[in-house]
Amino acid sequence: MRAAVTRAGKLVVEEVPDPVPRAGQVLVRTLACGICGSDLHALDDPEAFNDVVRRSGGTAHDIRDGLVLGHEFAAEIVDYGPGTVGALPVGTVVCGPPIGAGPQGTGIVGYTPAYPGGFGEYMILSEAFTLPVPNGLDPRTAALTEPFSVAARAVRRAELAPGTVTMVIGLGPVGLAVVAVLKARGHAPVVAVDFSPRRRAMAARLGADLLIDPAVESPYDRWTSLGVIPGMMDRMAAEYRGLRPTEAAVFECVGAPGMLARVVEGAPAAARIVLVGVCLRPDPIDPGLLANKELDIRGSFGSSPAEYRQTLREIAEGRIDAGAVITGTTGLNGLTGAIAELGEPDRHAKIVVDPSLDRAAIR
């Protein structure tokens, strides 16, 4: 099959052997695969990526050589391996969480040599994790169930009370997904923050209640006007008077060094901070601020099977407009150019790869 393979840290389109499904696995033909920010981070800083994987308890595979990336996918069933149920007919369009499991062991699809990702023409998936795409949903949109389910998990991890003021810092695809999920869950107000006018406009389309350009004003200057008490002593005084202060939550979706420190500095007292963006380098924070402001920092990673299924259902039923973040489609030959263009936030948000396309241009 044709695939974009990592060679010395670059993506090279070449012919590689077709993957062969083993016990409990299904062979699928890739229809669409989103380019994820994690892929960009991994390609840009492979040593840090591998180090974080290893120290998190995973098995690190050298991102620089021999991997077929791509874990946001929709595909068509081609064949079944031995010991499978085969409940879905050949030709069924499917998607699923990027968890590979079988005789080869377990691993993340696209980051494990045994489970090549959607930047190739074929993949092998675990039958148990493979879901039919409902309602004739466009495969490009169905492929984005994965990042939107990641957002769903982040929102669940925030444990938001009704009326909580939520702020989303960074409106890349995952930040936009967080906005969409917050609104689908009925949360308001949702404050969306990004330098890019185009991405702020996308957030507005997804339902954001307030848009902030941090080049013009600090989003952290808005807490009081949003009904949030920013200072710890003022909050404690309100509680002593028997008042229940408005809660706040900040979703850090940038994942760049220094962002967490700035969020800790700018978050109001008793806020919950959810880390959604992937930062691969240390980001020192002030523990005094953390303690004195009683901030709660929570990481969020991937999604559960229930979160993935619910997100797929909400996208298929039109309650989450995942397709709104798609700004281009390309073939395998256009991957390198697409990755470069994703560095220009006013040009693109999410580019989807269709391996059946020969063209290199992004449309």
Tens digit of each residue's pLDDT (9 = 90 or more) over 272-305: 999 999 888 888 899 999 999 999 999 999 999 9
Residues of the chain above pLDDT 70, percent:
99
Closest CA relative to residue 308, chosen from 184, 144, 182, 169? 144
Assess contact for 354 and 329: CB atoms under 8 A: yes
Q: What is the pLDDT of residue 112?
A: 93
Q: What is the pLDDT of residue 218?
A: 97
- Please provide the distance, in angstroms rounded to a whole number, between the alpha carbons at the two ends of the chain: 24
* pLDDT tens digits for range 80-103: 999 999 999 999 999 999 999 999
Q: DSSP letters of 281-338?
A: S-----HHHHHHTT-EEEE--S--HHHHHHHHHHHHTTSS-GGGGEEEEE-GGGHHHH
pTM comes to: 0.94
SS3 1: coil
Distance (Å, whole) CA 179 – CA 194: 12
Distance (Å, whole) CA 111 – CA 235: 45
Q: What is the pLDDT of residue 179?
A: 98
Distance (Å, whole) CA 232 – CA 350: 39
* pLDDT tens digits for range 55-69: 877 777 888 888 999
Average pLDDT score over the chain? 94
Closest CA relative to residue 278, chosen from 304, 298, 303, 252? 252
* Structural tokens at position 73: 């996918």
What letter would DSSP give residue 245? P
Task: Provide the pLDDT confidence category of residue 362 given band limits of 50, 70 and 90.
Answer: low
Which residues on neighbouring strands pair with residue 329, listed in sequence order?
352
Residues of the chain above pLDDT 90, percent:
83
CA dihedral 62, 100, 103, 42 (to 10 degrees): 0
Q: What is the pLDDT of residue 361?
A: 56
* pLDDT tens digits for range 195-233: 999 999 999 999 999 999 999 999 999 999 999 999 999
Average pLDDT over residues 165-190: 97
* pLDDT tens digits for range 101-140: 999 999 999 999 999 999 999 999 999 999 999 999 999 9
